[in-house]
Structure 1
């Protein structure tokens, strides 16, 4: 299957889509790259876990927006996931997020952090302490370049757990005594020992972690994988391996995906975030990953060509013409397969729905 052509724009302004180039990457404002206009509307409330509230009590909380740990992507409490294929830097990304929290940074990749405790627990099932030490030292060195005032003593607030046996009990004991902002579990498939395709088993397992997150007002973020053959398809939560119950229990699903144009670039996609407008899910944020395993925001976004096809006059005209002839969505897709106007069935459907007035007038 052919991969969609990707288009880029600098998301620090409203310039039209432009081809990515060395000069645009070099000149991009990394410090502010990726920042979204986001106003914090939440009225802070003292945390109190209760099993039930009546509607009046909920109304009186005056919560105008979901509290976030990382604006706008990650909520303050509950379950979330970062997915991707191998060698996309998922563990590196999550370690850097954890470091940013405990070192009391105000942002992560240009996005605002709202840490309360500045404490993180990282459960790693794939690396030993030597490999983590090696990676941490590289990342911390890069962080020090950006921030001279880093207090290394705060690193004690990032705890790594290398033994996942009785993990739920271990985490419960630790965070009841010392509250944390974030628990990272790397990786889900290693701590879940039952049938990964069984909806009930996956949901039951995740319910326990969801309760733990709710009771302690923290975020639990699972690293998980997508199918190896999904890289040729558009980013989708349907690519996650295993039961659909995994995705259903997550409030947020992010994906890291290799960039097709440059090997040192990684695309960060929002596959799911129920509290975000759909516009945030239409394009990725292009990240740079250097030799020291350190991510920076390039200041660019990546848009799938399928999005631009919806507004392409030539494609619209051809699709509507075939639709008037009575062809089904699948037959229109097939008719355009070997032409310059190749489109998928979902794009055909969107074009027809977006141009109903034009069809009525014909």
Structure 2
């Protein structure tokens, strides 16, 4: 039986704003594959989407990187499609590795085709099509941006490292279908989030805490994104920010010394669902560095907010390092986000489903 997934009832943007949002997304969110710098190697770029709420969470990541393996001719690329799905039955998902012969990227716009999966930006709408080869998971979605993007360029991640760049779109509405093992679900108006990252950076001495939240209450006009970049030991913070949008427009950005972060407890799990599946043998079944609660205090220029993300469940992605034989682990954590405070002399409140991502070095 098909299952309808209904998102919150968002405050509609007026037609002019909808067109302006689409134009802004198209002008900032294009592929940066380094065709103009053929002498450089090590470029990486990915498109990440998070769709749904507490009953169904769908995460998809499509990445393209310079293929630096010694056996591969210089200038080749390779891609990967990663999917995680969480519903009442727990976690599922898989990963497809895609070679240069099955990869197509259009620089200067959003178009990536990786074997049977693709992302295209058509008239300001993301069209995402995925059909995994190693797992019976497929979906086709149209994601309409409902907020202006925010872009960060040349963000430093430590001495001697290349910077990272990104664009985030905090609020989209998703429509389409998702099929798992032959059972199809219709998705209508599901809340969604998107980010796009690129650069020549590595994971050599680098970690991050990254999260996004949308309100469960359709009457709330707010959405939030939290970003924090640290060294690998997580003893030094390179940057941190809490971004708030109201009615689709960026409303307040708390940066650096305006933000204080603290962690409480640990998320305890006997086993973590891991993609690729084979990587579980290398990474083990448990992890001990996911905070149960992450508290964020932000204040400055007369504005002040308090926020807390409480973790409920998590899965992980294992990425082989290119600089050594180790592994980088990305924990995708679902939970509840609560934010309260005052900005521009007016109360701010946001409560709802959130997904946070913790990246760090594996064992």
TM-score between both structures, scaled by the size of structure 1: 0.26
RCO higher in structure (CA 8 A, sep ≥6): 1
Greater radius of gyration (CA): 1
Normalized per residue, the structure richer in helix is 1
Question: Which one has a larger percent strand, Structure 1 or Structure 2?
Answer: 2
